[in-house]
Amino acid sequence: MTIRIQPLTADVFASFGEVLDTAGAPDKVINQGLCGRYHDRATLDFPEGGRAGISLFQAELRALPYRLEMMERHPLGSQAFLPMSMDGFLVIVAPDEDGRPGTPRAFASRPGQGINFHRSTWHGVLTPLSGSGLFAVIDRIGDGDNLQEHWFKKPYTIE
Ligand SMILES: NC(=O)N[C@@H](O)C(=O)O
Ligand code: NI
Protein backbone atom coordinates (compact mmCIF):
# COMPACT_ATOMS: atom_id res chain seq x y z
CA MET A 1 0.00 0.00 0.00
CA THR A 2 1.28 3.49 -0.85
CA ILE A 3 1.02 6.35 1.63
CA ARG A 4 1.15 9.86 0.19
CA ILE A 5 3.19 12.45 2.05
CA GLN A 6 1.25 15.50 3.25
CA PRO A 7 2.54 18.84 4.58
CA LEU A 8 3.02 18.88 8.35
CA THR A 9 0.74 21.24 10.26
CA ALA A 10 -0.01 21.53 13.97
CA ASP A 11 -3.65 20.63 13.34
CA VAL A 12 -3.13 17.41 11.38
CA PHE A 13 -0.46 16.34 13.86
CA ALA A 14 -2.34 17.29 17.04
CA SER A 15 -3.46 13.78 18.05
CA PHE A 16 0.08 12.47 17.59
CA GLY A 17 2.16 15.25 19.10
CA GLU A 18 3.22 18.87 18.76
CA VAL A 19 4.89 20.77 15.92
CA LEU A 20 7.57 23.20 17.06
CA ASP A 21 8.12 26.21 14.86
CA THR A 22 8.21 29.98 14.89
CA ALA A 23 4.99 30.59 13.01
CA GLY A 24 3.36 33.81 14.21
CA ALA A 25 4.51 36.16 16.92
CA PRO A 26 6.69 34.89 19.77
CA ASP A 27 5.08 34.33 23.16
CA LYS A 28 7.72 36.52 24.78
CA VAL A 29 10.35 38.94 23.55
CA ILE A 30 13.52 38.62 25.67
CA ASN A 31 17.19 39.59 25.70
CA GLN A 32 16.67 43.35 25.38
CA GLY A 33 14.20 42.79 22.57
CA LEU A 34 16.65 40.81 20.46
CA CYS A 35 15.15 37.37 20.83
CA GLY A 36 11.68 35.94 20.40
CA ARG A 37 10.83 33.11 22.82
CA TYR A 38 8.27 30.58 21.56
CA HIS A 39 7.60 29.45 25.07
CA ASP A 40 6.76 25.95 26.34
CA ARG A 41 5.56 24.63 23.00
CA ALA A 42 5.71 20.90 23.64
CA THR A 43 4.91 18.61 26.54
CA LEU A 44 7.61 16.36 27.98
CA ASP A 45 5.77 13.42 29.52
CA PHE A 46 7.53 10.85 31.70
CA PRO A 47 4.79 9.70 34.10
CA GLU A 48 6.55 6.65 35.47
CA GLY A 49 9.80 8.20 36.57
CA GLY A 50 12.91 8.68 34.54
CA ARG A 51 14.10 12.07 33.46
CA ALA A 52 14.38 14.16 30.31
CA GLY A 53 17.61 13.66 28.37
CA ILE A 54 19.06 15.45 25.38
CA SER A 55 20.87 13.24 22.88
CA LEU A 56 22.29 13.87 19.44
CA PHE A 57 21.31 11.56 16.58
CA GLN A 58 23.47 11.50 13.46
CA ALA A 59 21.12 9.71 11.05
CA GLU A 60 21.77 8.49 7.51
CA LEU A 61 19.72 10.28 4.86
CA ARG A 62 16.89 8.26 3.37
CA ALA A 63 15.40 8.54 -0.13
CA LEU A 64 11.87 8.51 -1.48
CA PRO A 65 9.97 6.34 -2.09
CA TYR A 66 10.61 5.20 1.47
CA ARG A 67 9.98 1.59 2.48
CA LEU A 68 8.26 1.55 5.88
CA GLU A 69 8.91 -1.83 7.42
CA MET A 70 8.55 -1.01 11.10
CA MET A 71 6.97 1.46 13.47
CA GLU A 72 7.73 1.90 17.14
CA ARG A 73 6.47 3.63 20.20
CA HIS A 74 7.73 4.66 23.62
CA PRO A 75 5.21 3.73 26.33
CA LEU A 76 7.16 5.48 29.07
CA GLY A 77 7.82 8.85 27.54
CA SER A 78 7.47 11.47 24.83
CA GLN A 79 10.19 11.97 22.20
CA ALA A 80 11.16 15.16 20.38
CA PHE A 81 13.11 15.39 17.10
CA LEU A 82 14.76 18.80 16.64
CA PRO A 83 16.81 19.12 13.44
CA MET A 84 20.11 20.91 13.79
CA SER A 85 20.08 21.97 10.18
CA MET A 86 17.50 23.91 8.21
CA ASP A 87 16.13 20.87 6.47
CA GLY A 88 12.74 19.26 6.48
CA PHE A 89 12.42 15.58 7.36
CA LEU A 90 9.89 12.78 7.02
CA VAL A 91 7.53 12.23 9.95
CA ILE A 92 5.48 9.02 9.99
CA VAL A 93 2.85 8.29 12.62
CA ALA A 94 -0.12 5.98 13.05
CA PRO A 95 -3.09 5.65 15.39
CA ASP A 96 -3.05 2.73 17.79
CA GLU A 97 -5.39 -0.13 16.90
CA ASP A 98 -5.51 -2.75 19.64
CA GLY A 99 -1.85 -2.43 20.43
CA ARG A 100 -0.65 -2.23 16.82
CA PRO A 101 -0.23 0.68 14.43
CA GLY A 102 -3.22 1.46 12.22
CA THR A 103 -2.81 2.97 8.75
CA PRO A 104 0.26 5.17 8.81
CA ARG A 105 0.23 8.85 7.91
CA ALA A 106 3.29 10.58 6.48
CA PHE A 107 4.17 14.25 6.75
CA ALA A 108 6.97 16.42 5.40
CA SER A 109 8.18 19.01 7.86
CA ARG A 110 9.36 22.44 6.72
CA PRO A 111 12.89 23.65 7.38
CA GLY A 112 13.04 24.98 10.93
CA GLN A 113 10.26 22.74 12.25
CA GLY A 114 10.74 20.17 14.97
CA ILE A 115 8.24 17.69 16.39
CA ASN A 116 7.47 16.09 19.73
CA PHE A 117 5.70 12.72 19.73
CA HIS A 118 3.23 12.20 22.55
CA ARG A 119 4.06 9.23 24.78
CA SER A 120 3.02 5.94 23.13
CA THR A 121 2.51 7.45 19.68
CA TRP A 122 3.36 4.98 16.94
CA HIS A 123 6.03 6.53 14.74
CA GLY A 124 8.65 5.75 12.15
CA VAL A 125 12.24 6.16 13.27
CA LEU A 126 14.08 9.40 12.63
CA THR A 127 14.02 9.86 8.84
CA PRO A 128 16.01 12.75 7.39
CA LEU A 129 15.72 13.25 3.64
CA SER A 130 18.26 16.04 3.16
CA GLY A 131 20.82 18.10 5.00
CA SER A 132 23.21 16.90 7.67
CA GLY A 133 21.01 14.26 9.32
CA LEU A 134 21.98 15.75 12.70
CA PHE A 135 19.17 16.07 15.26
CA ALA A 136 18.83 16.82 18.93
CA VAL A 137 16.46 14.31 20.48
CA ILE A 138 14.77 14.93 23.81
CA ASP A 139 13.33 11.80 25.34
CA ARG A 140 13.22 9.72 28.50
CA ILE A 141 16.31 8.47 30.23
CA GLY A 142 15.53 5.82 32.80
CA ASP A 143 14.90 2.18 33.61
CA GLY A 144 12.21 0.04 32.07
CA ASP A 145 11.42 -0.99 28.53
CA ASN A 146 10.58 2.17 26.64
CA LEU A 147 10.64 0.74 23.12
CA GLN A 148 7.89 -1.29 21.48
CA GLU A 149 8.37 -2.19 17.80
CA HIS A 150 5.88 -3.48 15.25
CA TRP A 151 7.17 -5.03 12.01
CA PHE A 152 4.72 -5.03 9.15
CA LYS A 153 4.16 -8.27 7.25
CA LYS A 154 3.81 -6.13 4.12
CA PRO A 155 5.88 -2.93 4.21
CA TYR A 156 4.25 0.33 3.12
CA THR A 157 5.63 2.59 0.40
CA ILE A 158 5.82 6.23 1.43
CA GLU A 159 6.04 8.79 -1.36
N1 LIG B 1 15.50 4.11 19.29
C2 LIG B 1 15.85 5.39 19.27
O3 LIG B 1 16.56 5.91 20.09
N4 LIG B 1 15.33 6.12 18.25
C5 LIG B 1 13.98 5.90 17.93
O6 LIG B 1 13.24 6.06 19.12
C7 LIG B 1 13.50 6.81 16.91
O8 LIG B 1 12.32 7.21 17.00
O9 LIG B 1 14.29 7.13 15.99
NI1 NI C 1 11.34 6.75 18.73
Would you give per-residue pLDDT tens digits along the chain (159 residues)?
999 999 999 999 999 999 999 999 999 999 999 999 999 999 999 998 899 999 999 999 999 999 999 999 999 999 999 999 999 999 999 999 999 999 999 999 999 999 999 999 999 999 999 999 999 999 999 999 999 999 999 999 999
Q: Does domain 2-158 have CATH number 2.60.120.480?
A: yes
Residue type, 109: S
Q: Is 125 in the pocket of ligand 1 (CB under 6 A)?
A: yes
By the 8 A CB rule, do 39 and 27 touch?
A: yes
Could you give the CA distance from residue 49 to residue 19 in angstroms, rounded to a whole number?
Answer: 25
Cis check for the bond before 75: say yes or no (omega within 30 of 0).
no
Q: Is 71 in the pocket of ligand 1 (CB under 6 A)?
A: no
Q: Is 115 in the pocket of ligand 1 (CB under 6 A)?
A: no
Domain ranges of the chain: 2-158
* Mutate-to-test residue for ligand 1 from 16, 66, 79, highest number of ligand atoms within 8 A of CB: 79
Could you give the CA distance from residue 80 to residue 135 in angstroms, rounded to a whole number?
Answer: 10
Could you give the CA distance from residue 137 to residue 77 in angstroms, rounded to a whole number?
Answer: 12
The pTM (predicted TM-score) of the whole model is 0.96
DSSP letter assigned to residue 111: T
